[in-house]
Amino acid sequence: MSDARPGKPAVLLDRDGTVIVERHYLSDPALVTLEEGALQGLRRLAEAGWSLVILSNQSGIGRGYFDRAAVDAVNARVAHLLAEGGVAVAGWYICPHTAEDRCDCRKPMPGMARQAAAELGLDLARCWMVGDKRSDVELARAIGARAILVTTGHGAGDAEALRAEGVPICASLADAERVIAAGTPY
């Protein structure tokens, strides 16, 4: 008889414009700044037992603007700032491709989320996806997760259309944490 326990839930997070301030094709760790409310919201999620996982499109690699080492350095800086506030990220997943590559990992495609689920033992249907773009919401739909759009980063541009589709719209990760804590369905 096989072990039929379901995987664990997690909060899947976009990096740029959601956890950190959007900087077009960020490759310099010195420019990393946490979004307002990010540390507080992520700390409360972690304290409530949620695993936190970053899923980030990084087409700057595919475009030749910077290499994987630059992305890793930025991620290390983000991890350091979060750790100073008592927050650990369970997994970091990046897509280095451009949209023209038509890969399975670039959001809204499910590749990064499926890889995280396999490696971290996640049940994607019990997860939330929080991001600042329609592609983050579409990823949530593709994997059967619930979505929240934050209006930091690029989020304000898609807010009204996604609100009309029933997606919770939040001003920050601190506000998104309250929606997740309440288990608000849509």
pLDDT tens, position by position, 138-153: 999 999 999 999 999 9
Fold of 10-147+161-182: Rossmann fold (3.40.50)
Predicted confidence band of residue 168 (pLDDT cuts 50, 70, 90) = very high
What integer is the mean pLDDT of 25-54? Answer: 97
28 flagged as catalytic: no
What average pLDDT does this structure show over 165-176? 97
Domain segments of the chain as ranges: 10-147+161-182
Position 183 scores a pLDDT of: 82
**68-77 own/partner pairs: CB under 8 Å, 24+ apart:** 68/94, 68/96, 70/27, 70/28, 71/27, 71/96, 73/27, 73/29, 74/26, 74/27, 74/28, 74/29, 74/32, 75/15, 76/29, 77/29, 77/30, 77/32
- Model confidence band, residue 60 (pLDDT cutoffs 50, 70, 90): very high
- pLDDT for 71-82, tens place per residue? 999 999 999 999
* 158 given a catalytic annotation: no
Among 14, 132, 136, 158, the active-site one is 14
Catalytic residue among 3, 16, 28, 72: 16
